[in-house]
Homo-oligomer: A and B are copies of this chain.
Amino acid sequence: MNKIPFKGVIAYPITPFDAGEKVDVPLFRRLVERLVANGSHGIAPLGSTGVLPYLSDEEKEAVTEATLLQVAGRVPVLVGVSNLTTEKTIYHAQFAEKAGATAVMIIPMSYWKLTDDEIVAHYDAVASKISIPIMAYNNPATGGVDMSPALLKRLLEIPNVTMIKESTGDVQRMHHLRRELGEDVAFYNGSNPLALAAFSAGATGWCTAAPNLIPSLNLALCEAVEANDLAKAQRVFYEQLELLKFIVVKGLPRAIKAGLNILGEEGGYLRSPLKPLTDEEITELRNILTQIKN
């Protein structure tokens, strides 16, 4: 087992629906293919971008299998398997492993705020049932729980919890992780507008839906950092910042679908209650994308 199989730009596909709000698997595969072809260093289906919580068990399984078939080993695949109950999380993690996932990502979803002990037991239960690595995902805005660095440290003591994705949007949390957890821990940035600050702070990778729209700029930022060229990283970052902020503020599934359409690509439909961006928002996005091209 490669304990830290991801680095660089880990791209998140949306889950497109057809006009009847059913998952459109063929379109999904084409969207995954675009991400791989455009140079993404990893593919992560069933994230927030992929509207994981809006899908049935069968749909999650279909999306998992479709990803692995399409990627076909060209880059590592990180499958989101988060669920409110421990039992269901185990179920989906085992499915992902059997389907060939490189690793799984788990956020401690919560309706009732979980205690630290409950969270540790939850990860522990899942980890004991699979043999691929787990990326623990901290995102209080969507998960409802803010995992402290101390808690993350406890999670990292579970053998196959080997990576952390941090999406609080506070770069100081990344500094803290690095100080608390040591230089060897692999942490990934999940907050698009923090991409530069996170790489500067030593992030191993960037989990992002942006490669659906601007893959070259995303990769260029990553490469400038690897080349130790801060000036270039800064310049490339500011070129893409407005788009990064737009897609976060408007909601990734809505914004990526609209952006794909603007680029002349199919983006499918959204599942209710999610609705498309308004005309004004689409115009704003078009302007941002046009400005980036020039």
By a beta-carbon cutoff of 8 Å, the part of chain A in contact with chain B is 21, 48, 51-54, 84-87, 108, 111-115, 117-119, 121-122, 125, 142, 144, 169-172, 175, 178-179, 193-194, 196-197, 200-202, 225, 228-231, 233-234, 238, 241-242, 251-254, 271-275
Question: Residue A118 contacts which of B178, B238, B274 (CB distance < 8 angstroms)?
Answer: B274
CB distance from A161 to the nearest CB of B (A): 15
Interface SS of chain A: helix
Whether A125 contacts B196 in the complex (CB less than 8 A), given A53-B111, A111-B142, A172-B169, comes out as no
Chain B residues within 8 Å of A142, by CB:
111-112, 144
Given the known inter-chain contacts A196-B201, A241-B179, please indicate yes or no for A115 contacting B234, CB distance below 8 A: no
Point out the residues of chain B lying under 8 angstroms from A86, CB to CB: 272-273
Find out whether the CB atom of A193 lies under 8 angstroms from the CB atom of B169.
no
List B contacts of A252 (CB < 8 A). 112
> Do B172 and A194 have beta carbons less than 8 Å apart?
yes
Known contacts A53-B84, A194-B172, A230-B230; A112 and B271 CB within 8 A of each other: no
Q: How far is it, in angstroms, between the C-alpha of A200 and the C-alpha of B235 when the chains are bound?
A: 10
Would you give the shortest CB distance from A110 to chain B, in whole angstroms? 8
30 contacts between A and B (CB under 8 A): A48-B112, A52-B111, A53-B111, A85-B271, A85-B272, A85-B273, A86-B272, A112-B253, A112-B274, A114-B274, A115-B275, A118-B273, A118-B275, A121-B273, A144-B144, A170-B170, A171-B171, A171-B194, A175-B193, A178-B238, A179-B238, A179-B241, A196-B201, A200-B230, A200-B234, A201-B234, A202-B238, A228-B231, A229-B230, A230-B233
Q: How far, in whole Å, are A62 and B71 apart by their CA atoms in the complex? A: 42
Q: What's the least CB distance linking A90 to chain B, in Å?
A: 10
Do A230 and B225 have beta carbons less than 8 Å apart? Answer: yes
3 tightest CB-CB pairs across the interface, nearest first? A86-B272, A122-B273, A230-B230
> Could you say which residues of chain B place their CB within 8 Å of the CB of A272?
85-87, 121-122, 125
Closest B residue to A277 using CB positions: B115
Q: Give complex CA distance A54, B89 in Å.
A: 12
Could you tell me the distance between the alpha carbons of A216 and B119 in the complex, rounded to whole angstroms?
A: 36
